[in-house]
Amino acid sequence: MEALEAVLKRHTGPSVVLFSVLFRVVYGLLRKMPAPKNVVLDEFQTWKWRNLSLSMVHSILTGTWAVSSVLVWPETLRDLHYYHTPLSYLLVCISTGYFVQDTAEIILMGHARAAWEFLIHHALVICCFLYTLYTHLYVAGAVVTLFVELNSVTLHLRLLLKLAGATSSTAYRVNKMLNIWTFVAIRLAAQFYLTWYVIKNYSELHNAAFFMCALMTTNIMMLMYLCRLIRSDFLRHVGGKEYAVRNGTHNSKKFLSD
């Protein structure tokens, strides 16, 4: 693994591009899989289904990898600044490749306006991860950041079930409970730990101001989305149909409706 890490560090840019291409290959394979009938009737919804499916693959892979890394190497949590292993560096490289691929996909397919929230998030992640890969600093921090992908699994499943018209199903009801729990217990917990670490060690960290700005921006976005999730999945009866229309439920061209 040390030899692989050395290659990745010598050829960081090409490595990220390679992993982007590999995710594109996976996307091509996902295109061959069947989608719900009500999804394939609309071109945008079909693209959205496939895009979310690839995001699900990335979330399952990187989320479980990140947690496993911390369980095997607990030093990861104690030193977010300098500590990393060859596998954790590889993980960040692979994840960066996914975010580059997804950003390019959204823009080139002409969906940038509909998915602007995703693009802001992706831009922040790519900037931070590329800094990590080129400087070899904050690799452990990036690994902890990828804890949120465990919650992204339920977030993506939620959107896929909505696309399939299964919001009244048992699967959707169970998933929405898991989703809100993992959002708070994993996504917010990981994000707030990162924020606490940067604040506590601010004077000793490289480019701490940049990472603090990125973290605070992401924190605000996460809290706003948590409020939207609660209103959509647990307070939908308030306001009825008018609430649904006002919050984009019926806007088929908006990537992240509610």
Which tens digit of pLDDT belongs to each residue from 139-189?
Answer: 999 999 999 999 999 999 999 999 999 989 999 999 999 999 999 999 999
Rounded average pLDDT over 93-108: 96
pLDDT at 258: 59
Residue 254 or residue 70, greater confidence: 70
1 exposure class (CB count in 10 Å sphere: 0-12, 13-18, 19+): exposed
pLDDT at 181: 96
pLDDT at 242: 42
Measuring CA to CA, which residue among 136, 50, 54 is closest to residue 95?
54
Using the predicted structure, report yes or no on whether residue 243 has a pLDDT greater than 50: no
What distance in Å separates the CA atoms of residue 65 and residue 71, rounded to the nearest whole number? 10
How do the domains of the chain map onto residue ranges? 2-246
Which band of pLDDT confidence, cut at 50, 70 and 90, is reported for residue 245?
Answer: very low
pLDDT at 254: 62
Q: Extract the tokens encoding 186.
A: 């994993």
Number of helices (H), then strands (E), in the chain: 13, 0
Rounded average pLDDT over 92-103: 97
Residue 163 or residue 236, greater confidence: 163
Are 91 and 143 in contact by the 8 Å Cβ rule? The answer is: yes
Using the predicted structure, report yes or no on whether residue 244 has a pLDDT greater than 90: no
Are 98 and 126 in contact by the 8 Å Cβ rule? The answer is: no
pLDDT at 248: 40
Rounded average pLDDT over 190-194: 96
pLDDT at 256: 59
Q: In percent, how much of the chain has pLDDT > 70?
A: 91
Which band of pLDDT confidence, cut at 50, 70 and 90, is reported for residue 257?
Answer: low
For 128-141, give one letter per residue: b (16+ CB within 10 A) or e: bbbbbbeeebbbbb
Q: How far apart are the first and last CA of the chain?
A: 42
pLDDT at 237: 57
What distance in Å separates the CA atoms of residue 15 and residue 94, rounded to the nearest whole number? 8
Using the predicted structure, report yes or no on whether residue 255 has a pLDDT greater than 70: no
Using the predicted structure, report yes or no on whether residue 130 has a pLDDT greater than 70: yes
Give the pLDDT confidence of 12-64 residue by residue, as tens digits: 999 999 999 999 999 999 999 988 988 988 888 999 999 999 999 999 999 99
DSSP, res 204? G
Are 106 and 113 in contact by the 8 Å Cβ rule? The answer is: no
* Chain Cα centroid distance, residue 186: 13
Using the predicted structure, report yes or no on whether residue 193 has a pLDDT greater than 80: yes
Kindly give, in sequence order, each residue whose CB lies less than 8 Å from that of residue 46, ignoring residues fewer than 6 positions away.
35, 39, 40
pLDDT at 235: 85
Using the predicted structure, report yes or no on whether residue 4 has a pLDDT greater than 90: no
